Amino acid sequence: MHTHLLKSLRLEDSGVPIYVQLREQILRSLGAGVPKRGERMPTMRELAVALKIDLNTVRHAYDELERLGAITLVRGRGSFVAEPPAPVGARAQATQIDSLAKQTLATAVANGVDPIALAERMMTLAKQKGES
């Protein structure tokens, strides 16, 4: 079920904190639909063992993913890919878009990525996704 996710994760000694690398790689996988919405994520322990990293590092990444709304942690059952949120009003959506844009911008700058190049790439990917 989550074998593809586990195989896709590659941590590097790049100076970027491990939990940030993990969070970003999982977000990319979720964006690609692996695993799908509602599916169970690997447990924190499974991920820690598979990647040979500290359990608290995985917990930090999962906590961030939950805060971002990408996954849902269900005590005693595990972590699941979040279902799409219910439609929101125009004002709430504008606030959500602004917040996500600021967060993405901060992540890009923290990783040494040119925000304009990132925005252009996002536009290209969005257009390609719309064509599929």
Mean pLDDT, residues 107-128 taken together: 89
Q: Note whether 9 and 25 are within 8 A (CB).
A: yes
Residues 104 and 124 in one domain: yes
pLDDT at 116 over 80: yes
Nearest alpha carbon to residue 27 among 2, 9, 12:
9
Q: What is the DSSP letter of 78?
A: E
Per-position DSSP letters for 7-76, written without gaps between them: HH-----SSS-HHHHHHHHHHHHHHTTSSPTTPBPPPHHHHHHHHT--HHHHHHHHHHHHHTTSEEEETT
| Residue that is last in its domain, among 62, 81, 100 | 81
Question: 49-86 pLDDT, tens per residue?
Answer: 999 999 999 999 999 999 888 999 898 899 999 987 66
* 3-state SS, residue 115: helix
Helix axes 115-131, 90-110, angle to 10 degrees: 130
Looking at residue 121, its pLDDT comes to: 92
Looking at residue 2, its pLDDT comes to: 65
Whole-number Å distance between alpha carbons of 129 and 132 = 5
Residues 8 and 66 in one domain: yes
Q: How many domains does the chain have?
A: 2
Contacts of 117 (CB under 8 A, 6+ apart): none
Looking at residue 84, its pLDDT comes to: 72
Residues 103 and 67 in one domain: no
Domain ranges, residue 116: 90-131
